[in-house]
Amino acid sequence: MFQISEVLKKVPFFRSLGKDGISFIVERLKFKPFDADEIICKIGDPGDKMWIIISGQVKVIVKPEDSDEETLIAELTSGDYFGEMALLTGAPRSATIVTTEPSEMFILNKTDFDLVVERFPSITLSMGKIMSQRLTETLQKAAKRSEKVTAAVKGLLSERQLVDILKFCESNSLNGKVIVNRGNQTGKIFYQKGILQKVELGDLKDDEALDVLISWNDGEFLIEPDPLRLDERETPAAPEALQPIQLVIVNASMVVQKMLQQTFEKIGYSVYAVENKQKGINLIKKLEPDVVIADVKLPDSNGVEFVQAIREFSQIPIILLTEERNREDYRAKLSSFQEIGYTRSQELGEIMHTVQQMGGR
Ligand code: CMP
């Protein structure tokens, strides 16, 4: 029988908690063995626990419900943990986790996880960093997957007329081409947003080439969409839509400033941090950012005065870092103002979630 605390000391995530933290957690962990190929959690499900791998291995995959194709995001082994994102952000599971070999895990339920975070808030800092790396990696891999998802569709002209296939391409706003093969002849019909652009068949002109291709009753067709890109938009994006989201942090603590700055810069935000109300107001007037995160205790003001000062010139979303016990008081005092959010100051996951909800364009 192994000593749980000995195992936990080897897990980097727990090491930072020290002896007290480890014993606090040990009492709350449940041990569970898994067979190979067991689904531990599914993408899109709500999250009520996290897992720490003692032995074995899992794969992190993204697999849409309506497809058999899965994308491998990562493999995690002994000492790694997973399932923390849903607990930190309240969002559904970002990926499916499946064991690739018999594995042993510790399970920490959400209620106990919240207790650990309350008692050892620094844990959200290290978890938040890993979470933002994971998020970035998952988004990158999902973007590659969407290139693959644009799979070609093929068939026989004896079963489906080319005219019908071209109508299909138009009604589905195809970006790409239809390739038609008959014997040693190949024709290509190019589309952009469902509008025919050009037709190629030997040296023939577009309209002649199209007439010949439509007359073919045998041969093969292949609809080949261009790869999709995550940043592709329906219409050319306005220049400001390409700008990163701008975030202003107003907080007297350098540690909190740096922590928030690093986290949001990693996921592509432009972040500016200042330490007091006056500098905050000047910066917000100058930058007109997308969202403000402010501590309610500022050296030259408090949260209520700060919000009132901003609302004199801007309706920008403002997120106040408040302790839960003071929140109702702030809500009452600021009830006449719109677009005010509240989160706990140590809860990096909660802060990220609120910013993404209120400030995401
Ligand atoms: P959660 O979203 O709760 O459930 C799925 C889990 O997969 C997620 O938490 C992370 O723990 C894990 N996960 C997601 N993306 C990655 C990644 N890129 N690398 C490692 N683990 C990941």
Residue with the bigger pLDDT between 35 and 206: it is: 35
**Are 183 and 94 in a shared domain?**
no
**How many other β-carbons are positioned within 10 Å of the β-carbon of residue 72?**
12
Q: Which residue's alpha carbon is at the smallest distance from atom 22 of ligand 1?
A: 134
**Are 178 and 255 in a shared domain?**
no
Confidence of residue 25 (pLDDT cuts 50, 70, 90): confident
Given a contact cutoff of 8 angstroms between Cβ atoms, the answer to whether 295 and 306 are in contact is: no
**Are 221 and 251 in a shared domain?**
no
Domain that holds residue 258: 246-357
**Are 297 and 211 in a shared domain?**
no
Residues across the chain: 361
- Point out the domain boundary residue: 126, 145, 162: 126
DSSP class of residue 345 equals T
Domain count, the chain: 3
**H or E element at residue 89:** helix 84-89
**H or E element at residue 44:** none
Ligand 1 center–CA 59 separation, angstroms: 10
| Minimum mean pLDDT range among 143-147, 192-196, 265-269, 320-324 | 143-147
55 CA to centre of own chain? 28
Ligand 1 center–CA 34 separation, angstroms: 18
Residues with CB under 6 A from ligand 1: 41, 47, 60, 73-74, 76, 82-86, 93-95, 97, 134, 137-138
User: Which tens digits make up the pLDDT trace of 226-272?
Assistant: 765 544 444 433 333 446 788 899 988 777 777 788 777 767 788 89
**Are 219 and 252 in a shared domain?**
no
**How many other β-carbons are positioned within 10 Å of the β-carbon of residue 187?**
24
In a domain, 148, yes or no: no
| Minimum mean pLDDT range among 96-100, 150-154, 264-268, 337-341 | 150-154
What amino acid occupies position 214?
A: I
Q: Which residue's alpha carbon is at the smallest distance from atom 5 of ligand 1?
A: 95
Ligand 1 center–CA 40 separation, angstroms: 12
In a domain, 295, yes or no: yes
User: Which tens digits make up the pLDDT trace of 39-79?
Assistant: 999 988 888 999 999 889 999 998 755 566 788 899 999 88
pLDDT at 302 exceeding the cut of 50: yes
Mean pLDDT of the chain: 82
Ligand 1 center–CA 95 separation, angstroms: 6
Whose tokens are 């107003």? That residue is 250
Backbone angles phi, psi at 36, to 5 degrees: -70, 155
pLDDT at 185 exceeding the cut of 90: yes
Both tokens assigned to 38: 């067991």
Residue 293, classed as helix, strand or coil, is: strand
Considering the entire predicted model, what is its pTM?
A: 0.49
